[in-house]
A and B are shown apart, each in its own frame.
Chain A
Amino acid sequence: MSLEIEAPAIAVGDRTARRRSGGPGIIIWLCLGWLVLVVLVAIFADVLAPYAYTEQSLLSRLKPPAPLGGDWSYPLGTDGLGRDVLSRLIYATRMSVIIALAGSLIGATVGTLVGFAAAHFRGWIEDVIMVLVDFQASMPFLIVVLAVLAFFGNSLELFLVIVGLHGWETYARVTRGLVLQANGQNYAFAIRTLGVHPVQVYLRHILPNILSILIVQVTLNFPDLILLETSLSFLGLGIQPPQTSLGLMLGEGRSYLATAWWMGVPAGIVIFMTTLSISLAGDWLRDRLDPTLKTTDN
């Protein structure tokens, strides 16, 4: 059904690829720096946030950010309920990062296992798995997710599972291809003739050999996960109040665009900077780790 087409590396990646022997360029360092910052903010949200993200102060509603005439007790201003935008931004970042990380973990684990199963059993099991992979790849995932949410209602657990299912088919397809390739190689054959259990062969010998390509796949999938979560929350169908996430903040800020744009725009900027950084860093990582995807530019 779907043709397997990898997005080619981009210009910034090209330039860093030429510096393959050297370190990452300045842009990549900036991206990595931003990502470290985001992770630190997510970890230390409780310490960093000046207020609780639900704390309301109805007397100071819709205050603009401090540089635009607000006061410094609310550096990024306040929202329609008088909640501190900076504090909400910090907690929203934590929520979005946690969901994307957990989703990556679920998707990578499920997909890799299924890929191993397809390559190990072959026959009808492989056929069934590949049909499912095709199905998942040919349906826009957002539509499937919306259907599931309509039928089952919304809960954080279900939402995590759904986000985790995004991208399993890529891992499954990549793993299956790599394992089939590895199975045909002498080292796997040699270990197998020694009588080692198949699970041992896969876990201790083949998995370490294909791990770097799977890690690259995680970085390619991660921005999509962030966008999926934020899109759904933006539509009001993902994270539900009083919890908050970057998409939800932007969605809530939408109704205040004319009067208080600062409610949503900072969240949008954080989403954009994060997906941008992971994309660029991921391309760089791909050039470094995955020799099979070398572009034709060299």
Chain B
Amino acid sequence: MRASFLLSKVLRGLITLFLAMTFAFLVLRLAGDPVSLMLPDDTPPDVINRYQEIYGLDRSLPEQYLRYIGGLLHGDFGYSFRDGRPALDVVLERVPQTLILGAAGFFITSVIGICAGIVAALKRGTPVDIAAMGFAVFGHSMPNFFFGIVMILLFAMTWRILPSSGTGSLAHLIMPAITLGIGGAGSIARFTRSSMLEVLHQPFMRTARAKGLKPARRVILHAVPNAAIPVITVLGLRLGGIVAGAVVVETVFAWPGVGQLLVTAVGQRDLAVVQTIVLLVALTMVLVNFLVDVAYGWLDPRMARTGKETA
């Protein structure tokens, strides 16, 4: 059963990747002739024809599609219209900055979210719970670009303790990372809280209590590992939110990552770069979803056996 469970996940991941590639190809072709977009309006027709030959645009659509897929598999993602460099290089050189920001944001999401959720569940119904859940609603409803702007207004302009934009030091990372992580922290806190509450009502928690275990021991050794299973999956699924959030946050704080590149490339209609980023994101999402599925099957063997996705 386990092998077929993994196989079905791999298959679905591959289908998603294939759809992403087809999506990119279709919009790329529907958008019109990339050559005439790239060259000036008064270019002689024979030059245009020459370029169309180079890019294989004179061939039939199915053939173009196959060549396109083949090119992708060989790492050929096309060339940036702006400076003629390979699109993959243009994108990859931005990746480290986005990874730093994403990791920091993800750290804030998980640490704040899980801690707030556990505390809220243990102190259920008290002002602590209400405050934690108030924070969760706040994080969930606050648009990240507005949160970032308010932070810049307060910390960079009024009190002048943090740099308002750019990169280079740990101080530069603080505001973007908090902005990126805070929304996710809210939903993780809500989720951890309800997951903890569910576990705290289980018979084995009563048993642990009857055995005379200390509260701290009960919570850390018995409740948290059981409550962690769904939370870990949700954390994995937050990645999409981090990727989308990075686009906005990098723009607000002028952080030189992939997100900022995407916004500029869209503005300049640099199609090859946009397409490369879309495919890269799709690949990341598929990999992470797969890891989440595997982790879920591993943490909760019941699921791998039945292959059922439970909420």
Contact = CB atoms under 8 A, between A and B. Distances in A.
A26 to B, nearest CB: 14
B24 A147 contact: yes
A18 to B, nearest CB: 10
A271 B143 contact: yes
Given A11-B134, A143-B247, A146-B263, A268 B149 contact: yes
A5 B281 CA distance: 22
Interface in A125-170: 131-132, 134-135, 138-144, 146-153
Contacts of B208: none
Contacts of A257: 149, 152-153, 157
A138 B191 contact: no
A3 B295 CA distance: 12
A263 to B, nearest CB: 11
A139 B282 contact: yes
B20 A151 contact: no
A227 B130 CA distance: 25
| Chain B binding surface SS class | helix
Nearest to B24: A147
B275 interface: yes
Given A231-B143, A257-B149, A140 B241 contact: yes
A272 B153 contact: no
21 contacts: A2-B289, A4-B311, A5-B233, A5-B234, A6-B311, A8-B190, A134-B12, A138-B282, A139-B16, A139-B282, A140-B285, A147-B278, A150-B266, A150-B270, A231-B144, A234-B145, A257-B149, A257-B153, A261-B153, A271-B143, A279-B137
Contacts of A1: 9, 12-13, 16, 289, 293
B141 A276 contact: yes
Contact of A146 (B24, B134, B194, B262): B262
B31 A230 contact: no
A297 B24 contact: no
B8 to A, nearest CB: 10
A72 B274 CA distance: 47
B304 to A, nearest CB: 13
A235 B247 contact: yes
Interface of B: 9, 12-13, 15-16, 19-20, 23-24, 27-28, 30-31, 120, 124, 129-130, 132-134, 136-138, 140-146, 149-150, 152-153, 157, 187, 190-191, 193-194, 197-198, 201, 230, 233-234, 237, 240-241, 243-244, 247-248, 251-252, 262-263, 265-267, 269-271, 274-275, 277-278, 281-282, 285-286, 289, 292-293, 296, 309-311
Nearest to A273: B141
A10 B190 contact: yes
Interface string A240-263: 000000010011011001100100
A48 interface: no
Nearest to B152: A257
Contacts of A271: 143, 146
Contacts of B292: 3
Contacts, number: 185
A151 B30 contact: yes
Contacts of A297: 124, 194, 197
A12 B146 contact: no
Nearest to B187: A7
Nearest to A270: B146
Interface string A186-198: 0000000000000
Contacts of B146: 250, 268, 271-272
Contacts of A62: none
A258 B262 CA distance: 27
Nearest to B164: A257
A264 B150 CA distance: 10
B266 to A, nearest CB: 4
Given A150-B266, A150-B274, A11 B240 contact: no
A182 B281 CA distance: 38
A181 interface: no
A138 B247 contact: no
A138 B23 CA distance: 14
B191 to A, nearest CB: 6
A9 B197 CA distance: 12
Given A147-B274, A235-B251, 10 more contacts: A3-B237, A3-B292, A3-B311, A10-B133, A10-B190, A144-B278, A146-B262, A149-B266, A250-B145, A265-B153
